[in-house]
């Protein structure tokens, strides 16, 4: 009896998981399907069966060079993530192992910056970028993406570090480890799953960031988000071309996510069950 | 001459070229004519080897937001901007644009269609050069009109449009008598409805900037529009903009479509299933002296913050010249030439032959007067918009209300009352009225 209930529960849970996964993945799937339709097919209504034409890809390729925005996306997402980790690991270490009365408040304050609509600070940021000559520069965008994702990185690392027993670090200290050695040789290896998932998630967030990357770049530092947005047309059909551009833009990050999903899930559920 | 000398010479030449070459950045929208221009820029760079071009193509609203941000902060990211007839008078007044005074001896600015030229000028100076211009007119199915036993006049009235729409509607066959914009936005449904309201004698503001949505002319406009669309429009019309209606018309699902004149080449093009059955007529009126057609020109302007004004003006001159029209005609045929900017194009027999809608397009453009857009006097310019900075936000708010009325989410009276309240609040905040 118990086994029957367990099997039934398992089946229901599996079916529910598949349904949820399909619902979440469906917009991406439909974008990919639409990219293989003609413009007329794309706007005719819902259909899961495209004619299989590659004309949209040919058109996208003939209009713009994909490689430059792709390279910019790689540089900006990886660069901002590495920079964020360099800043966030010591910050999260301090908050996790040497908390003060204000640590929780600081963490909340950091998170609250994510609650503010980005457009509210568009003009000040734009003026700062203009005055420092950072408009349309990879350095400027790397710093910008690092800053906007920093609260999430610090929060994630803080959560992972809190799972590591402080006694281990104390033991390292008693053995004469310096602060540097303690973070690099003791803490970091133990938090590798957490750091890896933070790194992957941050790369995904930076790759998909569209508000600032579209507004602060023109050509030199413009990533794939700018590439996609250039295919929206006020007068003329563009759904199929836009879908082809989107598919090309998300393909690298989808492939990366697929291969690293084990690490990502392990990191995201790290410490979730005790 | 040694190899070393040769290398040194080549390097020096390259350095000299690099030091001299200027790169100008051009912000533009994605449409067929603009993309075609990007593909033809070799002609410009061959004639001007010291100028390189960088293109930034953006979605229309993002482009508007970005160039506004850049120009207001003097960010200097762009040397040439694609803007419309709405922005030009406002930005020229703010000294955000450079007047175009060095377009070249053979540019022939007098050849620009007068209505378009007026819309892009301030204090007698041209502040943007038109790349393509458009008005709006009626595109209709000649076969369905004939089947309905009617003949479309060159200059129809709104009553005729309603009569024809009623007769052409055939729900069983999937044919809607008329397709009109319903999607909310100052450049979407409000472009159409503002132009339509002009023909009903309505206006946004009186001479003292008092909003006029509480006047009977607006009630007549909106009630007519909603009733017409409910009786003869497509399902989900409140979500339809230019592209959605274009697809419906191309698929043979609209008896009539009143929209931008640039659509003529799409509905008669290879993608259209009704290409050989389309006729054209002027936008409708009610006999009050104004027609329901608009005037728009995507134009190239030079922001005041650019450091490369001379190179930018050379490019603007090239892209909007008569020679450019000929270049497109030579490479891609006369039917693909950007329309609505130069009088000489419409006098060209080859263009007239390639574009059967040419005369009606020119007549439509000439029928729009941005300086006197309404039956009653107004303190603003602009046919389908009001050329004040507040209009983008206000126009979209009112557009959402009218779209809701079309969708049946509120009554016409309620939509007009809320529009009046919103417009009054905006004008008070802007200091136009107390």
B371 pLDDT band, cuts 50/70/90, is confident
Contact A237, B267 (CB under 8 A): no
The reported pLDDT for the residue numbered A129 is 94
pLDDT value at residue B8: 57
- Strands (DSSP E) contained in chain A are none
> Which of the 8 DSSP states describes residue A220?
S
- Span B188-199, average pLDDT: 96
pLDDT-above-70 percentage for chain B: 95
Determine, for residues B62 and A214 on separate chains, whether the beta-carbon distance falls below 8 Å: yes
pLDDT of residue A274: 42
For residues B325 and B33, give the distance between their C-alpha atoms in angstroms, rounded to a whole number: 11
User: Is B184:B191 a contact under the CB 8 Å cutoff?
Assistant: no
Against a cut of 0.95, is the pTM above it?
no
In angstroms, the CA B60 to CA A235 distance is 10
Which H or E run includes B430?
A: none
Per residue in B218-263, pLDDT (tens digit) is 999 999 999 999 999 999 999 999 988 998 999 999 999 999 998 9
Q: In angstroms, rounded to a whole number, what is the distance separating the alpha carbons of residues A139 and B153?
A: 62
Comparing C-alpha atoms, which of B199, B159, B164, B186 is closest to residue B241?
Answer: B186
pLDDT band at B125 (very low <50, low <70, confident <90, very high): very high
Tell which of B52, B77, B174, B340 to mutate to test the A interface (max A CBs under 10 Å). B77
Residue A273 has pLDDT above 60, yes or no: no
pLDDT digits (tens, 9 = 90+) for B38-97: 889 999 999 999 999 999 988 777 888 888 888 888 888 899 999 999 999 999 999 999
Please state, rounded to an integer, the average pLDDT across all residues of chain A. Answer: 88
What is the distance between the alpha carbons of residues B271 and B295, in angstroms, rounded to a whole number?
26
CA distance B65 to B175: 38
| CB distance B415 to B402 below 8 Å | yes
Distances A229 to A76, A234, A243, B244 between C-alpha atoms, Å:
18, 12, 11, 19
CATH architecture label of B135-294+370-429 = 3-Layer(aba) Sandwich (3.40)
Arithmetic mean of pLDDT over chain B: 91
Q: How confident is the model at residue A179 (pLDDT cuts 50, 70, 90)?
A: confident
d(CA B218, CA B417): 11
Structure tokens at A60: 């996208």
A79 contacts A223 by C-beta, under 8 angstroms: no
CB contact at 8 A, B345 and B63: no
Helices (H) and strands (E) in chain A, counts: 15, 0
Is the pLDDT confidence value at B217 over 80? yes
Residue A106 CA to its chain's centroid (Å): 23
Is B73 in Cβ contact with A236 (below 8 Å)? no
Q: What is the mean pLDDT of the segment spanning B119-130? A: 92
Instruction: Say yes or no to pLDDT of A4 above 70.
Output: no
pLDDT at B407: 96
> Are the C-beta atoms of residues A221 and A231 closer than 8 Å to each other?
no
Q: Do A229 and B75 touch (CB under 8 A)?
A: no
Angle at B250 (CA atoms; ends B249, B255), nearest 5 degrees: 30
Cα gap B24→B51, rounded to integer Å: 7
Which residue has better confidence, A255 or A267? A255
Q: How confident is the model at residue B18 (pLDDT cuts 50, 70, 90)?
A: very low
B16 pLDDT higher than 70: no
CATH class of the region B3-134+296-354: alpha beta
Domains and CATH numbers, chain A: 66-230 (1.10.3720.10)
Question: Where do the structural domains in chain B lie, given as residue ranges?
Answer: 3-134+296-354, 135-294+370-429
Residue A219, phi then psi, degrees to nearest 5: -130, -50
Burial of A147 (0-12, 13-18, 19+ CB in 10 A): middle
Residues from B contacting A (CB-CB < 8 Å) are 25, 27, 29-32, 35, 38, 54-60, 62, 65-66, 69, 73-78, 187, 242-244, 246-247, 250-251, 260, 262-263, 266, 271
Q: Which helix (H) or strand (E) holds B57?
A: strand B51-58
Q: What is the mean pLDDT of residues B107-123?
A: 91
Residue A43 has pLDDT above 90, yes or no: no
Give the Cα-Cα-Cα angle B278, B284, B289 (nearest 5 degrees).
145
Q: Do domains B3-134+296-354 and B135-294+370-429 have the same CATH topology?
A: yes
What is the average per-residue pLDDT within B373-384? 95
């Amino acid at each position: 009896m118990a086994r029957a209930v367990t099997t039934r529960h398992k089946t229901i849970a599996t079916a529910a998981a598949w349904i949820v996964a399909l619902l979440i993945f469906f917009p991406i799937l439909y974008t990919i399907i639409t990219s293989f339709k003609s413009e007329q097919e794309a706007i005719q209504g819902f259909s899961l069966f495209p004619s299989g034409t590659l004309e949209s890809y040919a058109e996208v390729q003939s209009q713009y060079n994909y490689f430059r925005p792709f390279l910019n996306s790689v540089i900006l997402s990886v660069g901002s993530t590495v920079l964020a980790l360099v800043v966030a690991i010591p910050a999260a270490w301090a908050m996790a192992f040497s908390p003060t009365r204000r640590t929780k408040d600081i963490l909340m304050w950091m998170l609250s910056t994510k609650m503010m609509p980005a457009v509210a600070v568009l003009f000040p940021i734009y003026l700062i970028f203009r005055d420092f000559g950072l408009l349309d520069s990879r350095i400027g965008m790397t710093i910008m993406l690092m800053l906007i994702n920093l609260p999430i990185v610090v929060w994630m690392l803080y959560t992972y570090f809190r799972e590591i027993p402080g006694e281990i670090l104390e033991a390292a200290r008693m053995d004469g480890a310096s602060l540097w050695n303690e973070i690099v040789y003791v803490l970091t290896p133990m938090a590798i799953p957490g750091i890896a998932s933070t790194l992957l998630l941050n790369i995904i967030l930076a790759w998909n960031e569209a508000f600032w990357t579209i507004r602060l770049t023109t050509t030199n530092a413009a990533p794939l988000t700018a590439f996609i947005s250039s295919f929206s047309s006020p007068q003329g059909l563009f759904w199929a071309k836009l879908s082809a551009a989107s598919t090309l833009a998300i393909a690298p990050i989808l492939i990366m996510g697929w291969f690293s999903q084990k690490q990502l899930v392990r990191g995201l559920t790290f410490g979730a069950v005790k | 001459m040694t190899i070393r000398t040769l290398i040194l010479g080549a390097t020096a030449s390259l350095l000299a070229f690099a030091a001299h070459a200027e790169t100008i950045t051009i912000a533009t929208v994605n449409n067929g004519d603009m993309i075609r221009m990007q593909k033809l820029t070799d002609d410009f760079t061959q004639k001007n080897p010291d100028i390189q071009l960088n293109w930034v193509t953006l979605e229309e609203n993002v482009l508007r937001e970005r160039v506004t941000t850049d120009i207001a902060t003097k960010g200097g990211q762009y040397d040439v901007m694609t803007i419309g007839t709405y922005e030009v008078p406002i930005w020229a007044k703010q000294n955000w644009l450079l007047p175009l005074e060095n377009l070249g001896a053979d540019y022939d600015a007098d050849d620009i269609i007068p209505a378009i030229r007026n819309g892009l000028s301030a204090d007698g100076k041209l502040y943007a050069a038109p790349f393509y211009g458009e008005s709006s007119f009626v595109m209709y199915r000649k076969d369905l009109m004939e089947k309905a036993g009617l003949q479309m006049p060159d200059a129809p009235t709104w009553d005729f449009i309603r009569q024809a729409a009623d007769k052409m509607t055939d729900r069983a066959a999937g044919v809607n008598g008329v397709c009109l914009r319903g999607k909310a936005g100052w450049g979407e449904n409000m472009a159409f409805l503002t132009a339509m309201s002009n023909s009903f004698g309505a206006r946004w503001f009186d001479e003292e900037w008092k909003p006029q949505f509480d006047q009977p002319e607006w009630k007549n406009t909106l009630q007519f529009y909603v009733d017409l669309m409910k009786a003869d429009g497509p399902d989900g019309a409140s979500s339809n903009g230019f592209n959605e209606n274009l697809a419906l018309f191309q698929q043979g699902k609209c008896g009539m479509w009143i929209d931008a004149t640039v659509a003529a080449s799409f509905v008669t093009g290879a993608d259209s299933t009704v290409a050989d059955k389309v006729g054209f007529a002027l936008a409708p009126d009610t006999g009050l002296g104004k027609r329901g057609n608009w005037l728009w020109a995507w134009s190239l302007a030079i922001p005041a913050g650019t450091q490369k004004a001379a190179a930018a003006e050379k490019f603007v001159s090239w892209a909007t010249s008569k020679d450019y029209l000929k270049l497109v005609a030579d490479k891609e045929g006369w039917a693909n030439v950007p329309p609505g900017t130069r009088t000489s194009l419409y006098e060209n027999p080859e263009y007239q032959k390639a574009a059967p809608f040419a005369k009606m397009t020119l007549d439509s453009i000439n029928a729009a007067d941005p300086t006197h857009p309404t039956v009653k006097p107004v303190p603003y310019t602009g046919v389908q918009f009001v050329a004040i900075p507040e209009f983008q936000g206000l126009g979209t708010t009112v557009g959402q209300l009218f779209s809701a009325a079309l969708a049946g989410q509120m009554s016409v009276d309620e939509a007009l009352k809320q529009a009046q309240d919103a417009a009054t609040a905006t004008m008070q905040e802007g200091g136009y009225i107390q």
